[in-house]
Copies of this chain bind each other. A is one copy, B any other.
Amino acid sequence: MRKIEVCFTPALLPLYDITDSIVVIIDILRASSSICYGIDNGAEGIIPVATVEECMEYGGGDFLLAAEREGCVVEGFDFGNSPFSYTAEKVKGKKIVLTTTNGTQALHESLRADKIIIGSFLNKSALCDFLHRQQQSVLLLCAGWKGMFNLEDMLFAGAVVNQLRDEIKNVDDSGIAAEELYLLAKDDLRGFLRKSSHSIRLEKLNIEEDICFCLQTDICTSVPILENGALRKMAEVSKSGRL
């Protein structure tokens, strides 16, 4: 039976059977938002790597190198995971190698899934349209913060559950909790997130503009999908609804 589940952190991923599922990676502040924005702006591909060292190995080639740790750009890298680094001007036609504190780790741990795609408020409707057409089970994987639960990823997971609710009745407890919380917060996401510990940490980094940017809905129309080790713009979906 088709189901939708929410995994609150990658640390819990081993408990889920995802071999036949679509895994949606969610790291709202800021990796998944920036990936969606960059792919929408014409980046040819974004290669996610787990460590800063792996990222460095691509140096000297034809790649933009992006590395974020603890919310900051790692010294010596082109940029980190601020969405403002992923404008068309900067990324169009480019290949990017990216490592982030949480998002790329989540991705690497999902490799046994049938498909891995990237979700954020920025591409919410495009994402839900795709999930609707695929008719597969869905696991919404919140990247969290160093293995811990965080509020903004849960809220977006709740938004997706809410949008798919009519067609997928089988929702797990974390999906139910996420949806309820999203419905509570949706009219003022930024205000709701001010309560969160992660938000306080991010405020210290002086990225209020980034946060507001990442909470915009549907400014992107593409859905990044992992193919042969790189995230790319998804190809046209056929009328049968399959890739």
Interface residues of chain A, those whose CB is within 8 Å of chain B, are 8-9, 11-12, 15, 146-151, 154, 171-174, 176-177, 180-181, 184, 195-198
List 29 contacting pairs A-B, 8 Å CB cutoff, sorted by A: A8-B8, A9-B12, A11-B11, A11-B12, A11-B15, A12-B12, A12-B147, A12-B148, A12-B149, A15-B146, A15-B148, A148-B172, A148-B173, A148-B174, A149-B172, A149-B174, A149-B177, A150-B173, A151-B176, A154-B177, A171-B197, A173-B196, A173-B197, A176-B195, A176-B196, A176-B197, A177-B181, A180-B181, A181-B181
Q: Would you call A15 and B177 a contact (CB within 8 A)?
A: no
Q: Report if A198-B173 is in contact (Cβ < 8 Å); known contacts: A147-B15, A148-B15.
A: yes
The docked-state distance in angstroms from the alpha carbon of A177 to that of B157 is 13
Q: Chain B nearest CB: distance from A140 CB in Å?
A: 13
Output the nearest chain B residue to A170 by Cβ-Cβ distance: B197
Q: Add 11 more A-B contacts to A15-B146, A148-B172, A180-B184 (CB < 8 A).
A: A8-B149, A12-B148, A150-B173, A151-B176, A151-B177, A154-B177, A173-B196, A173-B197, A176-B197, A180-B181, A181-B181
Which residues of chain B are within 8 angstroms of A149 by Cβ–Cβ distance? 8, 12, 172-174, 177
Which residues of chain B are within 8 angstroms of A154 by Cβ–Cβ distance? 177
The docked-state distance in angstroms from the alpha carbon of A151 to that of B198 is 23
Partner of A184, one of B146, B148, B172, B184: B184
Among all A-B residue pairs, the 7 with the closest Cβ atoms: A151-B173, A149-B174, A150-B173, A15-B147, A173-B196, A176-B195, A173-B197
Which residues of chain B are within 8 angstroms of A147 by Cβ–Cβ distance? 12, 15
Partner of A172, one of B12, B176, B180, B197: B197
The docked-state distance in angstroms from the alpha carbon of A174 to that of B181 is 12
Output the nearest chain B residue to A9 by Cβ-Cβ distance: B12
Q: Chain B nearest CB: distance from A17 CB in Å?
A: 12
The docked-state distance in angstroms from the alpha carbon of A171 to that of B200 is 12
